[in-house]
Structure 1
Amino acid sequence: MTTTAAPAPISRVLTWCLHLLVGCLLSLTAVRAVLAGSPNAAAVVALAAALGAVYAAGPLVPRVRTSRRAAAVWSAAVGGVWVALLALTADAVWIAFPLYLLQLHLLSRRAGLAAVAATAAVAITGFAAHAGAFTPAAAIGPALGAAVAVAVVWGYQALYQESERRRVLIGELTATRADLAEAQHTAGVLAERERLAREIHDTLAQGLSSIQLLLSAAERALPDRPGKAAAHVHQARQSAVDNLAEARRFVAALAPPALEAASLADALERLCATTSTRHRLTVRFHLTGDPAPLPMAHEVALLRIAQSALANTVRHALAVTADVTLSYFDDHVAVDVVDDGTGFRPDTGTDGFGLAAMRARTNALGGTLTIETSPGHGTALAATLPLTAALDSR
């Protein structure tokens, strides 16, 4: 038995093992009494059945699982029937061991230890009474069984408590990490909003205010000074052109023109072709897997990373060829950029090649950036983004 409403799987297994042990020992006691032809055989069988019934009633009573007092009452009832059975047959002394386990599990540590000591004393006394004399050997069995039961139960309880403490600590750590990740994400969103707010305030908002003032001035000058009004309108028109350019810059920063009317694979293929045309570098494009729809943020990140990696190759690697591979897998999408250039030492701690920006892009979308390079052996860069998360964010 256990006093918790939701026992652990191992606790349930031990409970059923205890039930099975009690049932087997009661059956063995009854069978031996019948086979031995004891004059008390009928009474032994009846008391064994009564003890089994009282024992079986405990797991069916909800309060026994939730109340230590109810558990103590049930344990005392089981012990009382057992004492009566022990008075009829010495074989009942075997049942003392599962009673030890039951008492230690149901009662508090002090009460359980006292109950075990009392049960052991009754077992020794009953066995000695049936034997007709008290011997040290008669006391060894019940006493040793009590010691083993105490060691087993207390050891299990210590392990269980340690396991529970670790489970709680792991849960707290997981919750803390989730809260930290959420806080970091929120901080990133707020930082981006602040950046866009500053950009809009310093450009579009100021420009629209200027247009409003110029048009108001033109409206006031129109009846008497049409030339002055025309000048104000011209200035407002020029301001509108400038602000339209700013608006297009914002849009371009969020959605590159290369992705406006083409897929990511097409954009990367054009990037490879353009780089090969403008520079002394042969860039080949490869596509593997079945293309899957991605959010714009993921497509922008992969395209920007490929652009930055090829730009580094052109400026620093002295490479002859480079390969750009877009790969779609079951759970992630990846862009690999491999060149045959001079390579570099990745452990120098410097970041003059835009690697921090690439890593920031992948980390912001839950991905990873890996770089394999060494002096004289080229560079292999891989940006990987989770495909499931990408589809869920659409």
Structure 2
Amino acid sequence: MGVRPDGLERRDAILLRVVPYGALVVSTILVLIGDAKTPTQVWTTLGLTVTAAAWMLIVALPGASTPGPWLSGVYYAGLIVLFAVMILRSPLFGLFAWTGYPQVAYLRGRWKLVGMVATATVLSVTYVGGFDNLNASTAPIYLIFVAATGAVAVGFLALEMKRRATIDQLAEANTRREAALEENAGLHAQLLAQAREAGVHDERQRMAREIHDTLAQGFTGIIAQLEAARQNPAEWRRYADQAQSLARENLTEARRSVEALQPPHLDEARLPEAITGMSERWSRTSGVPVGVETTGEPKPMIPEVEVALFRVAQEALTNVAKHAGASRVGLTLTYLDDVVLLDVRDDGAGFDPAVNDGGFGLTSMRQRLLRVAGKLEIESSPGEGTAINATVPALPAGAQP
């Protein structure tokens, strides 16, 4: 026993284990009815049928492995001998001998061609009435049938082998495509891991600047006001009020810094809903109509990717309010198989990206996207509006880089 022959699919294997037995039963019935006039002929017919059925058990047993290269050759050679002996008994067994054509599937490579020719050689005897009628006068007719049926069979075999080769090529191409997609996903995850490391460093620096520039200075001012109140008891209320005002400002700054790490809107809604809600609030504040559209099938992504897209949308709208002078804005969120796209377009003043990079806002957006292995593209020209295009890998929620 060995492995299944190349190209022999499960469906084909089932047919090859059923059809030959059906043809054998029908052939036997026809012979018993039309060409078994004596008990000897009856028993010979039944004996040949049982022998053929037993021989085909090599490949027909339920759960049996398909014969390997050596055993498949032996099996098919024995099958040809059985065909010849059975046709010698009665040409009506030609119906069973016909199953030799599909059973060449058990053979390998060029042996399939040999099997086709051998089957045509034996089967063509039935066209002249059997071996008893094969003589000098019928030999030319016999040879013509051998050549014709053999050529047709070989032609069908060539077409089948070509079809199998095409299927194998398509399967191989599909396998390569799946491997490429898996490799691409791995590269995205690797880039994201690297971007995360860089992002952590950048975020630490940003937080350090925030603390130094706002919180630390605010606390310094509060301490100074409290010390001044201690040194000037008569004016302590004025200094206390100033300290209270500084404390409130510091609290606002602290909340702003914390909110910059994770937008609270994403805690309460999915990304499309969060961006839609943020855009509607922006529109009410700025007075500029904004249209939001989501295409594709929205799917949850890892928090870093969703936060990056949300902040890019938020910063893009902020830039429109500050600089564009637009009368309307369109925002589109597109979910594809491996990436998510965010497009923000306005009909405002525009600018020349080659001369002006858009200032700190665009730089901030680029940095955010780089942290999640994404990219930012700008399309704009003076008087023609601006289009912000952000692309990030569609890493599903729970993915581990």
Using structure 1 for the length normalisation, give the TM-score: 0.61
Within 5 A, what are the aligned runs for 1:141-290? 141-194=145-198, 196-197=200-201, 200=204, 253-255=260-262, 273=281, 277=285, 281-282=287-288
Distance in structure 2 (CA, Å) of the matches to 1:74 and 1:14: 18
Distance in structure 2 (CA, Å) of the matches to 1:337 and 1:38: 88
Per-residue CA deviation, residues 229-282 of structure 1 (Å, 9 max, x unaligned), is xxxxxxxxxxxxxxxxx99997565335x66998787897577657755x5x34
1:47·1:85 contact (CA, 8 Å) conserved in 2?
A: yes
Q: 1:107 aligns to what?
A: 107
Q: 1:226 aligns to what?
A: none
2:317 to 310, 317, 322: 310
2:36·2:42 contact (CA, 8 Å) conserved in 1?
A: yes
Structure 1 portions without partners, runs of 5+: 209-245
Distance in structure 2 (CA, Å) of the matches to 1:366 and 1:199: 16
Q: 2:61 aligns to what?
A: 60
Distance in structure 1 (CA, Å) of the matches to 2:154 and 2:275: 73
Per-residue CA deviation, residues 141-191 of structure 1 (Å, 9 max, x unaligned), is 444333333232343233323422332343234323422432343234224
Q: Which amino acid aligns with 2:191?
A: A
Q: Which amino acid aligns with 1:60?
A: L
SS at match of 1:38: coil
Gap change, CA 1:377 and 1:201, over 3 Å in 2: closer
2:290·2:331 contact (CA, 8 Å) conserved in 1?
A: yes
Q: 2:237 aligns to what?
A: none
2:28·2:45 contact (CA, 8 Å) conserved in 1?
A: yes
Per-residue CA deviation, residues 344-389 of structure 1 (Å, 9 max, x unaligned), is 699x999955779768867987999999999999788898999992
Q: Which amino acid aligns with 1:78?
A: L
Within 5 A, what are the aligned runs for 1:14-33? 14-33=12-31
2:301·2:395 contact (CA, 8 Å) conserved in 1?
A: no
Task: Tell me how far 1:74 sits from its aligned partner.
Answer: 2.2
Task: Tell me how far 1:304 sits from its aligned partner.
Answer: 1.5
The sequence identity of aligned pairs, in percent, is 23
1:130 aligns with 2:128: no
Distance in structure 1 (CA, Å) of the matches to 2:15 and 2:268: 67
Distance in structure 2 (CA, Å) of the matches to 1:154 and 1:292: 48
Gap change, CA 1:56 and 1:368, over 3 Å in 2: farther
SS at match of 1:389: coil
Q: 2:77 aligns to what?
A: 76
1:342·1:377 contact (CA, 8 Å) conserved in 2?
A: yes
Q: 1:46 aligns to what?
A: 47
1:297 aligns with 2:297: no
Distance in structure 1 (CA, Å) of the matches to 2:189 and 2:48: 69
Gap change, CA 1:251 and 1:175, over 3 Å in 2: farther
2:28·2:93 contact (CA, 8 Å) conserved in 1?
A: no
Task: Tell me how far 1:68 sits from its aligned partner.
Answer: 1.3
Gap change, CA 1:33 and 1:191, over 3 Å in 2: closer
Distance in structure 1 (CA, Å) of the matches to 2:49 and 2:356: 81
Gap change, CA 1:184 and 1:34, over 3 Å in 2: closer
Q: 1:234 aligns to what?
A: none
1:343·1:373 contact (CA, 8 Å) conserved in 2?
A: no
Structure 2 portions without partners, runs of 5+: 213-252
Q: Which amino acid aligns with 1:307?
A: Q
Gap change, CA 1:322 and 1:30, over 3 Å in 2: closer
Distance in structure 2 (CA, Å) of the matches to 1:190 and 1:94: 69
Gap change, CA 1:147 and 1:11, over 3 Å in 2: farther
Aligned length: 345
Task: Tell me how far 1:89 sits from its aligned partner.
Answer: 0.4
Using structure 2 for the length normalisation, give the TM-score: 0.60
Distance in structure 1 (CA, Å) of the matches to 2:364 and 2:33: 86
Q: Which amino acid aligns with 1:255?
A: Q
Distance in structure 2 (CA, Å) of the matches to 1:115 and 1:83: 14
Per-residue CA deviation, residues 189-234 of structure 1 (Å, 9 max, x unaligned), is 22442454477589969x99xxxxxxxxxxxxxxxxxxxxxxxxxx
Q: 1:217 aligns to what?
A: none
Distance in structure 1 (CA, Å) of the matches to 2:152 and 2:42: 31
Gap change, CA 1:171 and 1:315, over 3 Å in 2: same
1:96·1:120 contact (CA, 8 Å) conserved in 2?
A: no
Task: Tell me how far 1:87 sits from its aligned partner.
Answer: 1.5
1:34 to 14, 32, 35: 32
Distance in structure 2 (CA, Å) of the matches to 1:327 and 1:165: 33
SS at match of 2:83: helix
Per-residue CA deviation, residues 86-107 of structure 1 (Å, 9 max, x unaligned), is 11101223433321332x3223
Gap change, CA 1:321 and 1:84, over 3 Å in 2: closer
Gap change, CA 1:194 and 1:71, over 3 Å in 2: same
